[in-house]
Structure 1
Amino acid sequence: MGSDWLSQRAREAEAAVPGGFDLSECVREPIHLLGGVQSYGTLLAVAVVSGIVDTAAENSGALLGVAAGDLVGANVLEVLDADDWAEVLDATTGEDGTGAALPVVAGAGPKRRSFDVSAHRREGLVIMEFEPREDSAAFHFSGFYQGIRRALARLRSAGSVEDCCRVAVRQVRELTGYDRVVAYRFDGADGPGEVVAEDVTEGWEPWLGLWFPATDIPPQARRLYEENWIRVIADVDDPTVRLYPRVRAASGTPLDLSGSALRTVSEFHLEYLRNIGVRSSMSVSVLREGRLWGLIACHGGDPVRLAPEVRSACELFGAAFSLQLAAIEERDRADALTRSGGRAAAVAELLGADLETSLVRHAAQVQELMEADAVLLMRGGRLTCAGPSVRRDVADELGLRAAELLTGEVWDTDRLPEMLAKGAAPETTRVPGITGERGTAPESHAAHESAADGPGAAEELGSTGGTGDPDWAGGVPAGALLIPLRPGDYLAWLRDERPLPRKWAADPSVPVRVGPRGERLTPRGSSEVFRSVTRGRSRPWTPQDRAVAGELWRMLTGLVLHHADVLGELNEELRMTNTDLDSFAHAAAHDLKEPLRGISNAATFTLEDAGDSLDDRSVARLRTMERLAGRMDELLNSLLHYARLGRAGLRRRDLPLDEAVDGALEVAGPRLAEERVTVLRPPSLPYVNADPDRLDEILVNLLVNAAKYAADRPDRTVTIDVENVDGPNGAGTEQAVVVRDNGLGIPADRQAEVFDLFRRLHGPGDHGGGSGVGLAVVKRIVERHGGRLWLESEPGVGSAFYFTFGEPAPPSEPA
């Protein structure tokens, strides 16, 4: 874990330290298993069921009158009254594992004295921490309670996050007496922290506005801050008292002190505190939705021992602070909905009917709703982008995020390039944007030079990646906020990079350095401020942005579902209408053939029986009746065939296109040879997924057309090939079969007509005649497959017919 969490710059910096230094040891250190406590108190871990002491601090003899070696394995009643033990058990009972603090008189023989005991349960043990209390230091509840009440009242009156932080640091300093109290907010779960509020004694360095590297508080420390709300270090030079035994027989590890108030401190952290001139400290966790938002950090120039009730008050204050932050955020979210609800509803209405088309038409309003630089829509596998171009892999990555979201959940990031860098290498396919592609490829910068802040000091400009161009680098925006629509579909707002200037309390590129006392962690302080510019980040998304997006999702989902229902009803009506039309066409064609056959036979028999006695005009009219009846029969046969295409099912399978072409040439080959048209094809054609009989019809019709409309030239050719073409709505590429000839060609203004039923651009007898059904049949077959058919043609140059077959429908489940 440690080496993965450290940046490359941190690893390079530790390697440059004289004698070497492994900062990942700090990251990996099991700080909850250090096996010691601060020496001003002592500790006993006692089995809940039996009351037998499992572990004891080695100073128990000095404070409780019984040596640790003698206490372990003995009953806790040797140093604690039965009533007090029962009260400890009762106070620590509960599923939430909440600890308790109570006054007791404990010890053996002459060592009996007053203690404050903090107790909590872990792994079947009650862990009790004894802190001596002098009788002269009696707790005065009334005065203390009034101070806490005033502090909480002032906190509740705070109207913004900034006000809340300022009130918190002032009240905690009044409660504890520390020399410096700061509110420290993390930039993301694993990111650095910024001092956003401060209350400090005169003569101490101001830290307000300074940033501290993420390595100052490694991941395991952040996890402990989420579990244990308060951490107190009475004296950085305190000699640690070890536990006996060092390793528990039951677990094979030291006693877990995650919830301990007296837990000893990592040497790494002690070095850090000494380097900044701090003798005592306290940290109170600030949580938001169960995750660490920040800390209230306290520092003293002298050792400070806080009584348990003061620690409890600070812990209560931290919880109240966290609740107040949540309340402020919820109020801001509600205010944002009130202010933006009308605009969100208007945008939802604009997008309700046809998302893709509406997004392009109303891109400005959709972007303005979130103050975004672009909007991206994924729907049905098709991408629509309003704004700068977006790489396809970026859109796919956002799709994966959307697929993980719960219904109505909003996801956002202000550091999308960083997130993508942790995944696979980017692809090069891009989704075209309405305004075209912008931006250049990102550069990496690691230029950090020490620069003391003062007159004539050089300004250090660092970067985590990016360019001077504020536009997107290589099609990757800096920030994204998205809402899922339906499975696989989402709407996302995207933001440009916004370089952020920062003042660091230490050079973030040099987290390790030999200090004045030989310690190996970087000293911090305003006397050595480092300036940098953070790149690859967008303006952060606010709770208000997320609230508006959630409200838009609710409105938009309702409209989309409504339109989907309406469209479903229309599609069903259209299906029934098409079925009726197919049935009518089939019945009409079939029923008309019988009287038509009678008319034809009557004309033929009349000519045979009485032709010699008829005048030439009558014979000519009878011949015309025969010819027209034949033509009508041909048209009815074509109509019957066209109707059957709409009624018959498809039997799709994967088949080699080479075999299909061979079969079609058995029918169309003689006609091509007669017109001296040469067939060209590559050595090998791929497989296609289609109905074999229907594919044969397509190829035969297109090849016969190439023969019919061959130009008057010696090199008559028709080519059959497969090409990669752009998919519909910019959704990547797909394979299309193309039949290309160098024949007569078709004028641009008449190309759409050639696919109409019974439509010929030439006379009935020209170019071999025909009913004008062939290309209409081709179009119907392609559309039945879910594909596309289109034409590229130029008179005197030739024509190219492209067709695809779309994706095969999934097999239906058995009833």
Structure 2
Amino acid sequence: MTTPLTPPGDHTPAYAATDLTTCDTEPIHVPGAIQPHGVLLALTEDAAEVVMASVNAAAMLGIAADDVVGRPLADVLGPEAAAQVELRVVEGFPVEPLLVRLDEVAAGELAGRECDLRVHRSGSRVVVEIEAVEHARATPMTYQSARSAMSRLGASTTVTDLTEQIAREVRSLTGFDRVMVYRFDDEWNGEVVAEERRPDLNPFLGLHYPASDIPAQARRLYTVNWLRLIADISYVPVPLTPILDPGTGTPLDLSHSSLRSVSPMHVEYLSHMGVTASMSVSLVVDGELWGLVACHHYSGPHRPPLDARSAAEFLAHVASPMIADRERADDREAALATQSLLAEITARVSASPEAPLDAMLADPALLALMNATGLAMNFDGVVRTRGQVPDLASLQRMAAVTDHPDRYAIQTSHLAALDPGFAELAPVASGVLRIGASPERWLMWLRPELERVVDWGGDPTNKQLAAAEGPHVRLSPRRSFEQWRQIVRGHSQVWAPWEVEAADVLGRHINGLLLLRSREQIALAESLQRQVVLDRAPDFDGVELVASYEPASSNQLGGDWWDAFELAPGRLALVIGDVAGHGVSAASAMTQLRTALRAYLFEGHSPGDCLDHLDRLMDGLLDVRVATAVVVVLDVVTGEAEIANAGHPPPLLAAPGSVVEVEGEVRPLLGVGEGRAEPVHLELPRGSTLLLYTDGLIERRGSDMAERTGRLHAITSATTADEPLEALLARVLAMQGDTEADDTTVLAVRRT
């Protein structure tokens, strides 16, 4: 069946048939047509000859579309305009439009008029789009006006303030009756979070719209082409001729086209809202569509000048990273507060003369750590609780449904989704964060339901109702945009990633303390250490990173550890350390030191200050003898590294054919309560390797340490810039041989 918007003529666009089954797969990037306020020409790869044209070329350029195809571009637009188009191809398709006057050849509506030309590539074709410049051309965004707009955006301290300013700026630039900022949630439902409008219009602020309103393939297109304009909702699409590219036999991809004809489903959707013209600008955060700046007009067609549209798109590009910064700042603040509270709890539990579990359950901050209202702990069949919790049988059922053999930390904010029988417990336990390695030992924090009122822009279930009427019913956009209110129950506040990590760290810390209790707990501690000190290094952009931890052959519990994590995008923290001794006490101390050091780094302290804080913590609170450590903070982009050393073997900086020890003042061992770390600053060139290791690699009973150190230097200097670090690691570890060794840990990093 055809839609009411099918254009006349023989050239039926690709979207001519749209029904319920094709709603989410409509080929909107290849519509085979454009909007009528401009002309589109598809050229050969050298931009010399026209191979496809929109059929309105006759009216706009004074040349019939069939006559345009196959002609040199200079004959169609004139030599001067054609030369500028060819120059754009040579320059790599800059996004700025060309301003030309078509008075040499064109004899149609555009003859003698100033026109904006946009040039971009689509596959092997060069695409030229031509629009007449509006008489009331907006004042171009100068350096000063752009700087002022950026300053106003930058002055916003929250995401809410920023989105409100975006709406004001875009409405001022484009003159639309209503400008909204529309934000997506994790399920791609949208919410209007900011709005600027004519005073006589009803507000849409706070309304939600279901994910089905913007299908997945439309969202993907929004990340490719940030701006889309519909100058007149009642327009009749202008098809291309020929409808298929003669070189490929497929429709021309118009993903980057500003004139691209839009889905008739979307046009109908907007018409039900009384919209006569619309524009949208994407907000993209970390490569993913975060939201849209949606512009609506209600008093007839509206085509803002291209320079105004370009300015709006420029502001969206400026605002997108600002949104990311505001969100990360909020997250970072909350994460730092959680890390700080976690460090306090673990220090108090470690210093308490009580049994670790008793000390942890009695800690006054344990519920506040997770913003929870209740918790329950099962240790070998004995269940203890704090705060508001359901009955024992319900707790055991919760533990059973959240148990996972391969995951230590598990969380849900919608417990009833795992078992509908839990719906009745929602006022007490809608969210569960559980840690534990077995059904007999677990700790669960509980959150109650967080009742939310969601105001929908029309009933979001209408599409499902239409589907239920039968396959013959054409799927239409929702015809009512009255507010429809839904009360969402059974969901708790979502557990933040740093809360899950804090629970994981706390659980593993407590497990470390429990190692002192029995042989069974020793086996648990061995597993703990393997989970904390991973077998493989994580992957980070811009660096190659390898690591290895091998415990002493006579004892599986030791004090060595390494760590690697991001403090911020492009900023890595690398740590290697060694707690004196072996066995339960060394492994437990290692876990405490690793946790505390992570907390200090996340709080923003420098590597040297982190080691000084750790020394005071060990001397004043933790029952730890002594330890050594090296902390490195690396800027992946510049290669700048800040290194602090507390009694540890110096790192090696290796380039092909050379190796040097990173020299600098080494502060005393950790735990002695005196001394101050002096950092070393250096640059890690691309292709060079920074190697950190514990003394177990070079200290061996019956061996000469100087000789082993020389061997390590020779092995490290022999590496090349293109040799995988895994190969270097294997050669370094081969130094151990088969003789009995101490714990050995190696960490190597190379900028790629």
Aligned Cα root-mean-square deviation (Å)? 4.4
Distance between the aligned counterparts of 2:426 and 2:183, measured in 1? 29
1:180-207 Cα shifts (integer Å, max 9, x gaps):
111212221x332221221110211111
Aligned partner (choices 536, 540, 554) of residue 494 of structure 2: 540
Provide the residue aligned with 2:188 in structure 1: 191
Q: Is the 8 A contact 2:462 2:478 kept in 1?
A: yes
How much does 1:160 deviate? Answer: 1.0
Provide the residue aligned with 1:104 in structure 2: 100
Q: Is the 8 A contact 2:373 2:446 kept in 1?
A: yes
1:671-690 Cα shifts (integer Å, max 9, x gaps):
xxxxxxxxxxxxxxxxxxxx
Provide the residue aligned with 1:248 in structure 2: 245
Provide the residue aligned with 1:457 in structure 2: none
1:669-722 Cα shifts (integer Å, max 9, x gaps):
xxxxxxxxxxxxxxxxxxxxxxxxxxxxxxxxxxxxxxxxxxxxxxxxxxxxxx
Distance between the aligned counterparts of 1:237 and 1:164, measured in 2? 34
Provide the residue aligned with 2:469 in structure 1: none
Provide the residue aligned with 2:427 in structure 1: 470
Provide the residue aligned with 1:74 in structure 2: 71
Provide the residue aligned with 2:286 in structure 1: 289
Q: How do 1:372-451 and structure 2 match up within 5 A? A: 372=372, 388-389=395-396, 391=398, 394-396=401-403, 399=406, 414-415=413-414, 441=421
Give the residue type in structure 2 aligned to 1:546: P
Q: Is the 8 A contact 1:356 1:377 kept in 2?
A: no
Q: Is the 8 A contact 1:479 1:539 kept in 2?
A: no
Provide the residue aligned with 2:268 in structure 1: 271
Provide the residue aligned with 2:611 in structure 1: none
Give the residue type in structure 1 aligned to 2:170: V
Aligned partner (choices 453, 457, 477) of residue 505 of structure 1: 457
Q: How do 1:4-23 and structure 2 match up within 5 A? A: 22-23=19-20
SS in 1 for 2:421: coil
Provide the residue aligned with 2:39 in structure 1: 42
Distance between the aligned counterparts of 2:442 and 2:225, measured in 1? 39
Provide the residue aligned with 2:322 in structure 1: 324
Unaligned runs of 5+ in 2: 1-17, 390-394, 467-473, 516-524, 531-550, 558-737, 739-752
Q: Is the 8 A contact 2:346 2:509 kept in 1?
A: no
1:289-317 Cα shifts (integer Å, max 9, x gaps):
22222211111112111222111111111
In structure 2, the CA distance between the partners of 1:34 and 1:166, relative to structure 1 (3 Å rule), is same
Give the residue type in structure 2 aligned to 1:395: T
In structure 2, the CA distance between the partners of 1:27 and 1:376, relative to structure 1 (3 Å rule), is farther
In structure 2, the CA distance between the partners of 1:46 and 1:481, relative to structure 1 (3 Å rule), is farther
Q: Is the 8 A contact 1:41 1:129 kept in 2?
A: yes
Aligned partner (choices 529, 533, 536) of residue 483 of structure 2: 529
Q: Is the 8 A contact 1:347 1:366 kept in 2?
A: yes
Q: Is the 8 A contact 2:181 2:292 kept in 1?
A: yes
Q: Is the 8 A contact 1:44 1:127 kept in 2?
A: yes
Q: How do 1:37-436 and structure 2 match up within 5 A? A: 37-49=34-46, 51-80=48-77, 81=79, 82-93=82-93, 99-106=95-102, 108-111=105-108, 112-113=111-112, 114-133=114-133, 136-137=135-136, 140-141=139-140, 146-188=144-186, 190-301=187-298, 302-349=300-347, 357=357, 361=361, 365-372=365-372, 388-389=395-396, 391=398, 394-396=401-403, 399=406, 414-415=413-414
Q: Is the 8 A contact 1:271 1:519 kept in 2?
A: no
TM-score (norm 1): 0.52
1:722-744 Cα shifts (integer Å, max 9, x gaps):
xxxxxxxxxxxxxxxxxxxxxxx
Asked which structure has the greater CA Rg, the reply is 1
Distance between the aligned counterparts of 1:492 and 1:75, measured in 2? 73
Distance between the aligned counterparts of 1:127 and 1:38, measured in 2? 15
Distance between the aligned counterparts of 2:344 and 2:101, measured in 1? 70
How much does 1:108 deviate? Answer: 2.9
SS in 2 for 1:32: coil
How much does 1:522 deviate? Answer: 1.9
SS in 2 for 1:441: helix
Greater percentage in helix: 1
Distance between the aligned counterparts of 1:330 and 1:115, measured in 2? 43
1:126-182 Cα shifts (integer Å, max 9, x gaps):
222111125x5566436x554443332211111111111211111211111111111
SS in 1 for 2:208: strand
SS in 2 for 1:293: strand
Distance between the aligned counterparts of 2:384 and 2:101, measured in 1? 74
Range with bigger deviation, 42-51 or 167-176: 42-51
SS in 2 for 1:110: coil
1:478-516 Cα shifts (integer Å, max 9, x gaps):
46599x99xxx99986644323111222122324799xx
Distance between the aligned counterparts of 2:257 and 2:384, measured in 1? 55
SS in 2 for 1:54: strand
Greater percentage in strand: 2
Give the residue type in structure 1 aligned to 2:478: T
In structure 2, the CA distance between the partners of 1:286 and 1:347, relative to structure 1 (3 Å rule), is farther
TM-score (norm 2): 0.56
In structure 2, the CA distance between the partners of 1:573 and 1:398, relative to structure 1 (3 Å rule), is closer
In structure 2, the CA distance between the partners of 1:533 and 1:574, relative to structure 1 (3 Å rule), is closer
Provide the residue aligned with 1:737 in structure 2: none
Distance between the aligned counterparts of 1:362 and 1:125, measured in 2? 70
Q: Is the 8 A contact 1:348 1:552 kept in 2?
A: no
1:775-808 Cα shifts (integer Å, max 9, x gaps):
xxxxxxxxxxxxxxxxxxxxxxxxxxxxxxxxxx
Distance between the aligned counterparts of 1:73 and 1:490, measured in 2? 74
Distance between the aligned counterparts of 1:56 and 1:76, measured in 2? 11
Provide the residue aligned with 1:27 in structure 2: 24
Provide the residue aligned with 1:718 in structure 2: none
1:556-576 Cα shifts (integer Å, max 9, x gaps):
88998998589898994699x
SS in 1 for 2:251: coil
Q: Is the 8 A contact 1:417 1:478 kept in 2?
A: no
Q: Is the 8 A contact 1:92 1:100 kept in 2?
A: no
Distance between the aligned counterparts of 1:159 and 1:29, measured in 2? 40
Distance between the aligned counterparts of 2:57 and 2:19, measured in 1? 35
Distance between the aligned counterparts of 2:509 and 2:432, measured in 1? 27
Q: Is the 8 A contact 1:499 1:536 kept in 2?
A: yes
SS in 1 for 2:107: helix
Distance between the aligned counterparts of 1:337 and 1:50, measured in 2? 54
Q: Is the 8 A contact 2:375 2:385 kept in 1?
A: yes
Q: Is the 8 A contact 2:278 2:296 kept in 1?
A: yes
1:505-546 Cα shifts (integer Å, max 9, x gaps):
2122324799xxx99322344xx32221123422134xxx43
Range with bigger deviation, 80-89 or 353-362: 353-362
In structure 2, the CA distance between the partners of 1:64 and 1:548, relative to structure 1 (3 Å rule), is same
Give the residue type in structure 2 aligned to 1:534: V
In structure 2, the CA distance between the partners of 1:83 and 1:157, relative to structure 1 (3 Å rule), is same
- Identity over aligned pairs, percent: 33
SS in 1 for 2:127: strand
Q: Is the 8 A contact 2:19 2:475 kept in 1?
A: no
Distance between the aligned counterparts of 1:292 and 1:25, measured in 2? 23
Distance between the aligned counterparts of 2:130 and 2:290, measured in 1? 31
